Structure formats: structure tokens, C-alpha cells
Amino acid sequence: MADAVVEALVRWPVDGVPDRPGAWLMTTARNRAIDRVRRDARYKDKLAMLASLPDTASREPDDRLRLIFTCCHPALDADAQVALTLRAVAGLTTAEIARAFVVPESTLAKRLTRAKQKIVAAGIPYRTPEPEEWPSRLDQVLRVIYLVFNEAYLTTEGDAVARLELAHDAGWLTTLLVGWLPEEPEALGLQALVQLHLARWSARVDPNGHIVLLQDQDRSTWDQRKIGAAAALIEPAGRLRRPGPYQIEAAIQAVHCEASTWDATDWPQLLQLYSILGAYDRSPVVRLNRAIVIGQIEGPEAAPNEVDELEGALGRYYLFHAARASFLHRIGRSDEARHANQEALRHTTNVAERAMLIDRLGTRRAEDRPRRPRG
């Protein structure tokens, strides 16, 4: 009827008022109603047709972002939320998730089982949370996307060194998240962090599929436009005055990206940033990275003792052993360095990491082998 009145206000001043205005309004309203019913029916048919199509990359990430918010239910333990979401939504294997948590695969499998049992026992509903519920689940959603990107950055299983498609997927999810929650600085921080890594992606692996460490990368291949766009996200996040770990990690990566060479890296600034990060994230991995930076500032002799303190927490983490091996080799403790590299090799399944460690072991055996005197 409202549509009919609008139509009358448009037509009657031009065509004149009909002899039976009420009947004209009723007839017009009825016709408009019939048109609307037909249009809705066609719309439903189109929706049904769309739903029958295979999932496409263009709409899948949006669906999964909603599903991630659904799985991060506050009734579950925080680690269980993340582990279950990585398994059910992101499709990571139990081994890949166990690596992300730095725990044995059997421990992670039990954690997943308990989470599923709690969902059933507590009758947790399977539904997309309302927008007002999103902020309370944001921390876990951010953590899920962060761990998905970590798995893409360096795969746990298979022949691939990294998974660029999965990395872009994580980047797309951060973009969607910022679109949903533009005033959340940690979402901006995570978006910047992912984009800074993606800007350096092409330099990470050589033509033979071997990992190229940051200090050896050809920085001329880094995408400076992407680096600038990603770094520009950090400032508006900071203006919101709610600092957090993803903003700090993004700032750390920005320092690396701004350095023209490895030697030109602002190591004191990185030490300060890692110290701040440690106040938010007390994980041994952060402490390991901080110890590596100390070794760059004070020399390799300053790092081994601090690194050794983390063995109880990171004994199954290959980067712990690889970093320790690097410092031990630089201070001349070759036998211990070789043993640490062997331990690193034992704790990684990534083909590129294994190739690098095997090459390192072979090279260092050659370096340590006594040379026959000439002549």
C-alpha cells in the first residue's frame, strides 16, 4: 500500500486524480504485492541455484571467518578453541596443529577429543555468534588465523616448502576481519604482519627449493610497494592506543623490511620490541627470538647460556636446536653444534628445512675435517 501511495503521488499530479481513488490504490497495491511475491520467488530460486554450485574461493573465506567465530566458543578452553578450529575449519592435520602448539601429536589428539566431548556434553549450539559477541572471541580468532599463516609459511608435512595459496587465504581473512572490526588494532596488526611476510615471499626459497635465510635473501626482490602498504597499517593501529602482540610482531617485521642489508638491521630496536613482546606473550619461542637478537648485539658468546635455559620447554622444537647450533658453531664448539643440528633434523619433517640442515651438517663436517699438508 505504501508503494501504491508513492505511485499515486508521482502520477496523479500529471494524469489527474482517478474517479475512484480508493479502488485505484487497492488495485495498484495488489499488483505491486503480486510483483513482489514473484520477485521473491525468483530470488529464492537463484539462491537455491547458487547454493548448489561448488564452493569457490571468492566466498569460502567469508564463510570460514564466520565459522571460526562460531568454533571459538568461550565455554571451551582457549587452547581447545584454537586447536578445534584449526582442525575443523582450516583443515590442518593433527600433526600440523601439534607443531604449532609445540606439543606431542598424541597430546594434541587428546585435547581435540576432549573439546569435542565438551561440545556434546554442554550442548553448545552450532550457530554464528551475533556481532556483539565477536569482540569476546576475537583473541582466539586472531590466533587461529596467525597459526594458519604460520603453517602456510613453513609446512609441517608433504613435499612443499610453503603453501602460498594458504598464506594468501590467511591474508584475505585478516582483510575481512579488519572490514568487520575496523576499530580493533590487533586485527590491523595481524593484517600488517601477514602482508609484510608476503611481501618477502619470493626471496625465501631458491630455484632448487632450498630455504634462503633472512640474512642471505636478495632484498631487491622484496615487494617494496606491499611493504609500504603493510607498514602503513601499523600507525593507525597504534593511534587506537591498545597495543598487543600482533602489532608488536608487525613492528618487528617492519624493522627487518626497512633494513637495506642484514648488517644494517636495527638490532637494539629489535631487542626493545622483543622485550615488550615478552610482556604480552611469555612463550619460550619469544624468549628464543630475544636471545638470538642478543647474540647479534653482544656476540655469539652471549647467547648459548640463555638459549640452553629453554631446552626443557623447546626440546621438541627444531628451531631451538638450529639456533643453538648456529651459536655453538660461531664460537668454535663444533661437535656440540653438529649434535644440535642433528637434533634439529630429528624434529622437523619439512623437506626444505631438512635439506638445509643436511647441507649444514655436510658442510661443517668438511670444515672440521683435518686438511692434508701440501707438498
Domains of the chain, by residue range, sit at 2-52, 282-370
Q: CA 32, CA 87: separation in Å to the nearest integer? A: 49
Q: Helices then strands (H, E): number in the chain?
A: 18, 0
In sequence order, what are the residues at sequence separation of 6 or more whose Cβ sits closer than 8 angstroms to the Cβ of residue 340? 321, 322, 324, 325, 328
pLDDT for the residue numbered 56: 40
Angle (deg, nearest 10), helices 318-330 and 351-368: 20
pLDDT at 305: 83
CA distance 88 to 85: 5
Question: How big is the chain, counted in residues?
Answer: 375
What's the CATH class of domain 282-370? mainly alpha
The pLDDT, as a whole number, for residue 39 is: 65
% of residues, the chain, pLDDT over 70:
87
Q: How confident is the model at residue 58 (pLDDT cuts 50, 70, 90)?
A: very low
Nine-digit cell at 300?
Answer: 655469539
User: How does the average pLDDT of the chain come out, rounded?
Assistant: 83
Q: Which is higher by pLDDT, 221 or 114? A: 221
* Residue 347 pLDDT exceeds 60: yes
Whether the CB-CB separation of 124 and 139 falls below 8 Å is answered with no
pLDDT for 188: 96
Name the residue with cell 692434508. 372
| Amino acid sitting at position 265 | T
pLDDT digits 0-9 by tens, 213-255: 899 999 999 999 999 999 999 999 999 999 999 999 999 999 9
Tell me the C-alpha to C-alpha distance, in Å, between residue 69 and each of 74, 115, 133, 145, 286: 10, 16, 9, 11, 27
Is a pLDDT exceeding 80 seen at residue 167? yes
CA 224 → CA 13, 27, 128, 218, distances in Å?
Answer: 62, 64, 38, 13
The percent of residues above 90 in pLDDT, for the chain, comes to 37
DSSP-assigned letters across all residues of 96-133: HHHHHHTS-HHHHHHHHHHHHHHHHHHT---SPPPGGG
Q: Which three cell numbers stand for residue 157?
A: 608435512
Q: Which residue has the cell 587465504?
A: 169
Q: Write the Ramachandran bin of 367: left for phi over 0, alpha for psi from -120 to 50, otherwise beta.
A: alpha
Task: State the Cα–Cα distance between residues 287 and 36, nearest whole angstrom.
Answer: 63
* Single-letter residue type at 370: P
Least-confidence region, from 20-29, 55-64, 158-167, 356-365: 55-64
pLDDT value of position 161: 66
What's the pLDDT tens digit per position in 188-215? Answer: 999 999 999 999 999 998 887 778 889 9
The alpha carbon of residue 234 and the mean position of all alpha carbons in its chain are separated, in whole angstroms, by 16
- Out of 170-179, 286-295, 353-362, give the one with best mean pLDDT: 286-295
Helix 224-239 with 245-258: angle, nearest 10 deg: 140
Q: Classify residue 349 by burial, with Cβ atoms within 10 Å: 0-12, 13-18, 19+.
A: middle
pLDDT at 314: 92
User: Comparing 59-63, 107-111, 371-375, which segment has the lowest mean pLDDT?
Assistant: 371-375
Alpha-carbon distances of 315 from 4, 352, 354, rounded to whole Å: 75, 21, 17
Q: Is 57's pLDDT higher than 50?
A: no
pLDDT computed for residue 126 by the predictor: 63
Which stretch, 74-88, 140-154, 261-275, 357-371, has highest mean pLDDT? 261-275
End-to-end CA distance of the chain: give it in Å, rounded.
Answer: 108
The residue-averaged pLDDT of 300-308 equals 86
Is a pLDDT exceeding 90 seen at residue 37?
Answer: no
Nearest in space to 71 (alpha carbons), one of 132, 112, 104, 99: 112
